[in-house]
Amino acid sequence: MYMQNIIALGMISLFTWGCGNSDKQKGETVQTPLVDKVWYSNPVIDSDNPDPTVIKAEDGYFYLYATGGNTWIHKSKDLVHWTYVNGAYEDDKKPSWEPDAGIWAPDINYIDGKYVMYYSLSKWGGGETCGIGVSVSDKPEGPFTDQGKLFRSNEIGVHNSIDPFYIEDNGKKYLFWGSWYGIWGVELSVDGLSLKGGIENAKATKIQVAANTGNTNAYEGSYILKRGDYYYLFCSTGTCCEGANSTYQTVVCRSTNLFGPYVNKAGEKMNDNKHEVLIHKNDAFLGTGHNAEIVQDDEGKDWIIYHAYRTSDPSLGRVVLLDRVYWDDNGWPYLVGDGPVVKAEAPVFKNNK
């Protein structure tokens, strides 16, 4: 009987405590429940989508554009889960100023309220007549309207003029480009849709920021990030498109000036074919190159998107990978292990529902 009373009293006390604490009391701190970390696995797009470029659009989604077909577009809220949208162009309105050419290596930007995509129009063996054009759209998913070519290789005086990259600096607009015959830069018009001063002025004033001075495949797929006091020039070297035999890798140098000189950690110049390797192959992936823009998540972590082949099945083409970029005490970027991760903690975006 005594034990039964003790049990009954305990139950009454527990019930009373529960009722008295059913609502948050004034001045009380409620601890946020611990949430397990969210993980992701590479690749984040497990199909052939080479030469990616990424932008966060006004609708809150990230949009990724890639070489292939009609310029394939995917969208995502978190850089991890991607949904195919459509091609960038209506089938009968694709750029066509270079006959029998494909649309390669797009570069997406948001300029003066428009989505502006620079692109390469090229074919294998067409290094003299390939070139770079520009298209615009009111919406990130398109359709994009072609504005025509900016220049061909034989007009600007740079063989194999592909792989455009746009950047604004100190109120001016610039285009960088190049593949195996140097990385070059030139100023654009105020609206970014043409060359400042026309083709003859651009040909005379273009500046080389990286050069192939040896028997290596360098450089292409340029991207420049301004971080702190430095401009970081990311490029790819090696062979891009040979499946299991691809030697592509991502490299980087930096400068205190947009037009260089870009140097490695030892102070050696990229114009002398010197650089730091950022991403190389590992047991899971090879041909790790042509990176997109670096994106920062809501916790201030930096992320890089690029393409690679699966070592287990290169026939899938160049799939899309995502990796976190770290920065050392001297301001140089690096990846854990210097190569692609297979599984890691995911980027954090708080409003990605």
Catalytic residue annotation: 51, 220
pLDDT band at 242 (very low <50, low <70, confident <90, very high): very high
Domains and CATH numbers, the chain: 37-345 (2.115.10.20)
Predicted confidence (pLDDT) at residue 170 exceeds the cutoff of 90? yes
CB atoms within 10 A of CB 56: 17
Residue 106: which region, alpha, beta or left (left: phi > 0; alpha: psi -120 to 50)? beta
pLDDT in tens, 288-324: 999 999 999 999 999 999 999 999 999 999 999 999 9
Confidence (pTM): 0.89
Strands 249-255, 276-279: pairing kind: antiparallel
CA distance 348 to 335: 18
CB atoms within 10 A of CB 348: 14
The SS3 call for residue 329 is: coil
pLDDT band at 20 (very low <50, low <70, confident <90, very high): very low
pLDDT in tens, 121-132: 999 999 999 999
Residue 205: which region, alpha, beta or left (left: phi > 0; alpha: psi -120 to 50)? alpha
Determine the pLDDT at residue 213: 82
Asked which of 9-13, 125-129, 207-211 is least confident by mean pLDDT, the reply is: 9-13
Predicted confidence (pLDDT) at residue 14 exceeds the cutoff of 50? no
Mean pLDDT throughout 178-187?
A: 97
CA distance 150 to 118: 9
pLDDT in tens, 247-296: 999 999 999 999 999 999 999 999 999 999 999 999 999 999 999 999 99
Question: What is the secondary structure of 105-158 as a DSSP string?
Answer: EEEEEEETTEEEEEEEEE-TT-TTT-EEEEEEESSTT---EEEEEEEEHHHHT-
Predicted confidence (pLDDT) at residue 13 exceeds the cutoff of 70? no
The SS3 call for residue 281 is: coil
